[in-house]
């Protein structure tokens, strides 16, 4: 009898492993450009290259979302937990995700079973700034493409997970790494292009944006983000970024930071790539008087050449590590082709996306201390006494006067993407209310070593919450509603035609809110903190919602006193997928 049971179990296992897998049709550049218009797939980061993170699906809505139940869940397995910041992609019954330590998976969306897994072989000595996370990949043609912590770009066969090509982005020993989801954009001259940036601003690297051919990874153009450096086009030098020493003193531009670590968006109407740039290096702003272009800026680039068409700098001469990398989301505002971005510095900006002109700017966090506001051109009005002191003017020359700044260097908003609803005309901003003690110190550049020239401690500023999801009107800056969360929010937002806003919390809850009122309508605890971005799609007439759960990211590593408040949270690695029971969906 025991023998028969073993035989039956083994036969069932063999049968499960030979079940036919979904077939993948190629993902075209047209599929990606029109991703926001289709509901049966998710083939771009941001549910469309514009980055609105809006789905027109309304099968799941305010009237029935309380009935959502798990459809399936899959463990990422192993001991490689840490933060899971990926956004899933979905095409032809297959889901593609990345995970911590530069891993990737293909999953059957009907069963939740793994189709293939890829594990990058990372070398010793990698220098990731802020956890070993990965924020997702890109689909184009028959390939799934993502970046690794040792600063490589890997193209996998989407059906098999086998390596098609690998390209080195830069030297990981100098502090370079890569964690963002690549951006795929159309090019009339070169075919689909894979657009990437670089991480490593805290190591004195120089940021840049690159475009490669999707077929073989060949470099087409490169655009440095710090003035004085030369760009390339088709293997030759093209033009200099800005003008050497125009806003940078001496030789500091050579190690000037400006890392492009988050990724970008693309607007099919203006045919422009939008990319944000990080903090200038070092953090000690007294060493580099001037605006320090093009750090802490939003850049609009020509996809054919990589030339900068316009720029908008949010924090000139940044002294607080207020990276300007945050996503630029295209939308229409009263007949104007606009774009919005929520900055680490605590201000929400609305720009004309055709020329970069400032339309409006509004604080989205409370108690901002480093600036009094923005002038008519969107330039900050600084509070001089709230810039950390110059260490060379201190008694010992080793530590400048400390100040308390709001927000902290982890930002009013960090990497976690905002969303825009075409129905409510509101933006939904995952923000954090915190400040920091900050002081400057002397520092010299050394390859592969931290290049800060500052010390800091992050602290909460309210007793009852740090995280705050806000619904903001981009026309007026009015906050229509706010949801307060005790722990910091660190994951992305999804909005839907069903009148819903989905997001996750470090406490592990995936929540659904009424997009108009902010009322909580549903929650499910996934067992570990959510720092990824949810997606939704339609399959066989049903609407599915998925999110990857797994606590980690920068907060436990850099959060100071805040980190102590979340030390009890468990790490993990699970893909959770939800749907309505069919009878519930039919009733509504």
Catalytic residue numbers read: 321
Q: Which residues of 460-476 are buried (b: 16+ CB within 10 A; e: fewer)?
A: bbeeebbbbbbbbebee
Using a 10 angstrom Cβ sphere, with 0-12 exposed, 13-18 middle and 19 or more buried, the burial of residue 237 is exposed
Tokens of 237: 């030098």
Element (H, E) at 557: helix 554-558
Distance of alpha carbon 180 from alpha carbon 313, whole angstroms: 21
With a CB cutoff of 8 Å and minimum separation 6, the contacts of 84 are 76, 99, 100, 133, 531, 532, 548, 549, 550, 552, 572, 573
With a CB cutoff of 8 Å and minimum separation 6, the contacts of 358 are 312, 349, 350, 351, 374, 376, 377, 378
Distance of alpha carbon 108 from alpha carbon 544, whole angstroms: 13
Strands 69-75 and 297-301: unpaired
Please measure the distance between the N-terminal and C-terminal CA atoms of the chain and give it in whole angstroms: 49
Distance of alpha carbon 301 from alpha carbon 298, whole angstroms: 10
Q: Please list the alpha-helical segments (H only) found in 88-168.
A: none
The DSSP code for 9 is: H
**Going edge to edge, which strands form the sheet with 542-549?**
69-75, 574-579, 542-549, 535-539
CB atoms within 10 A of CB 440: 28
Q: Which residues of 277-316 are buried (b: 16+ CB within 10 A; e: fewer)?
A: bbbbbbbbbbbbebbbbbbbbbbbbebbbbbbbbbbbbbb
127 bridge partner residues:
none
Using a 10 angstrom Cβ sphere, with 0-12 exposed, 13-18 middle and 19 or more buried, the burial of residue 73 is middle
Using a 10 angstrom Cβ sphere, with 0-12 exposed, 13-18 middle and 19 or more buried, the burial of residue 256 is buried
Distance of alpha carbon 208 from alpha carbon 190, whole angstroms: 20
Distance of alpha carbon 399 from alpha carbon 442, whole angstroms: 8
With a CB cutoff of 8 Å and minimum separation 6, the contacts of 204 are 175, 255, 257, 281, 282, 445, 447, 451
Q: Specify whether the CB–CB gap between 257 and 226 falls below 8 A.
A: yes
Distance of alpha carbon 25 from alpha carbon 27, whole angstroms: 6
């Amino acid at each position: 009898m025991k023998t028969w049971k073993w035989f039956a179990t083994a036969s069932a296992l063999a049968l499960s492993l030979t079940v036919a897998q979904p077939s993948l049709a190629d993902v075209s550049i047209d599929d990606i450009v029109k991703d926001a218009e289709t509901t049966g797939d998710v083939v771009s980061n941001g549910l469309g290259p514009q980055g609105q993170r809006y789905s027109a699906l309304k099968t799941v809505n305010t009237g029935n979302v309380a009935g959502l139940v798990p459809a399936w869940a899959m463990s990422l397995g192993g001991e490689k937990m840490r933060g899971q910041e990926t956004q899933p992609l979905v095409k032809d019954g297959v889901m593609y995700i990345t995970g911590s330590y530069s891993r990737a998976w293909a999953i059957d969306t009907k069963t939740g079973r793994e189709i293939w897994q890829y594990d990058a072989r990372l070398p010793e000595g990698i220098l990731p700034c802020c956890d070993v996370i990965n924020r997702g990949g890109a689909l184009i043609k028959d390939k799934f493409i993502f970046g690794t912590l040792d600063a490589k770009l890997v193209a996998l066969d989407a059906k098999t997970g086998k390596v098609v090509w690998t390209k080195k982005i830069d030297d990981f020993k100098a502090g370079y790494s890569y964690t963002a989801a690549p951006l795929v954009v159309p090019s009339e001259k070169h075919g689909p292009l894979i657009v990437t940036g670089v991480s490593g601003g805290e190591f004195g690297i120089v940021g840049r944006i690159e475009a490669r051919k999707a077929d073989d990874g060949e470099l087409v153009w490169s655009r440095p983000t710090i003035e004085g450096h030369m760009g390339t086009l088709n293997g030759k030098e093209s033009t200099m970024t800005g003008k050497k020493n125009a806003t940078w003193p001496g030789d500091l531009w050579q190690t000037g930071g400006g890392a492009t670590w988050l990724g970008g968006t693309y607007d099919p109407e203006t045919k422009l790539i939008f990319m944000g740039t990080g903090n200038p290096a070092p953090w000690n702003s007294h060493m580099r008087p001037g605006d320090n272009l093009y750090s802490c800026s939003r850049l609009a680039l020509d996809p054919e050449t990589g030339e900068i068409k316009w720029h908008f700098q949010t924090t000139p001469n940044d002294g607080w590590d207020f990276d300007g990398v945050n996503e630029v989301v295209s939308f229409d505002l009263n007949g104007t082709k606009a774009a919005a971005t929520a900055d680490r510095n605590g201000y929400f900006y609305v720009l004309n996306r055709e020329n970069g002109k400032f339309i409006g700017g509004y604080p989205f966090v409370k108690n901002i201390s480093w600036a009094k506001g923005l002038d008519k051109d969107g330039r900050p009005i600084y509070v001089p006494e709230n810039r950390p002191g110059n260490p060379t003017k201190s008694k010992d020359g080793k530590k400048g006067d400390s100040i308390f700044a709001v927000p902290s260097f982890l930002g009013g908003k960090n990497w976690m993407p905002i969303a825009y609803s075409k129905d409510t005309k509101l933006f939904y901003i995952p923000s954090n209310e915190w400040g920091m003690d900050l002081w400057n110190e002397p520092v010299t550049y050394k390859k592969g070593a931290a290049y800060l020239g500052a010390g800091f401690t992050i602290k909460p500023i309210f007793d009852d919450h740090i995280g705050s999801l806000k619904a903001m009107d981009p026309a007026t800056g009015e906050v229509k509603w706010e949801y307060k969360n005790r722990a910091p929010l660190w994951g992305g937002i999804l909005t839907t035609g069903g009148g819903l806003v989905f997001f996750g919390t470090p406490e592990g809850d995936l929540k659904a809110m009424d997009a108009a009122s902010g009322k909580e309508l549903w929650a499910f605890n996934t067992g570990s903190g959510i720092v990824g971005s949810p997606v939704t799609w339609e399959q066989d007439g049903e609407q599915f919602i998925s999110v990857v759960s797994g606590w980690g990211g920068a907060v436990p590593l850099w959060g100071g006193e805040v980190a102590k408040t979340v030390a009890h949270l468990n790490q993990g690695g699970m893909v959770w997928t939800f749907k309505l029971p069919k009878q519930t969906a039919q009733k509504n």
